[in-house]
Amino acid sequence: DQQVKQNSPSLSVQEGRISILNCDYTNSMFDYFLWYKKYPAEGPTFLISISSIKDKNEDGRFTVFLNKSAKHLSLHIVPSQPGDSAVYFCAAGDSGTYKYIFGTGTRLKVLA
């Protein structure tokens, strides 16, 4: 049972446009959500997070939106750059246990 789902395995976006990556979760007990970026043959690196008390968190070009009623979060990258091309993982979990479940990832390709 996949508690965290990223239904789009891949996404292509033109440089300068907005990239929107989506993630859905099923467990209403999850209260902390994260996005990681991963290049091939490297470990994931933390991008941005949001706790359930917020619905938006922004860090430079990256914004994460949380819709608790829909159990949905999204990552917006504006403007998209070729260096953003990577696999993006969302993760969700209970901040009290630090056990986060990762989605299957979305491969973003930003076209120059």
Partner 1 sequence: SQTIHQWPATLVQPVGSPLSLECTVEGTSNPNLYWYRQAAGRGLQLLFYSVGIGQISSEVPQNLSASRPQDRQFILSSKKLLLSDSGFYLCAWIDRDRSHRHFGAGTRLSVL
Q: How far is the CB of 103 from partner 1 (least distance, A)?
A: 5
CB of 11 closer than 8 Å to CB of 22: no
Nearer to partner 1, 8 or 15 (CB): 8
- Residue 79 or residue 104: which is nearer to partner 1 going by CB? 104
Q: Which is nearer to partner 1, 11 or 15 (CB)?
A: 11
Closer Cβ to partner 1, 15 or 94, answer by number: 94
Q: How far is the CB of 112 from partner 1 (least distance, A)?
A: 27
Tell me the pairing of strands 62-67 and 86-94: unpaired
Instruction: Give the largest CA-CA distance in the chain.
Output: 42
Gap between the Cα atoms of 108 and 84, Å rounded: 7
Closest CA to 10 of 22, 24, 25, 2: 22
* Smallest gap from residue 45 Cβ to partner 1 (A): 7
In the complex, the residues that contact partner 1 under the rule CB under 8 A are 4, 6, 32, 34, 36, 41-46, 49, 89, 91, 95, 98-105
Token pair 């260096």 in the structure block, residue: 83
Q: Tokens in use for 87?
A: 């696999």
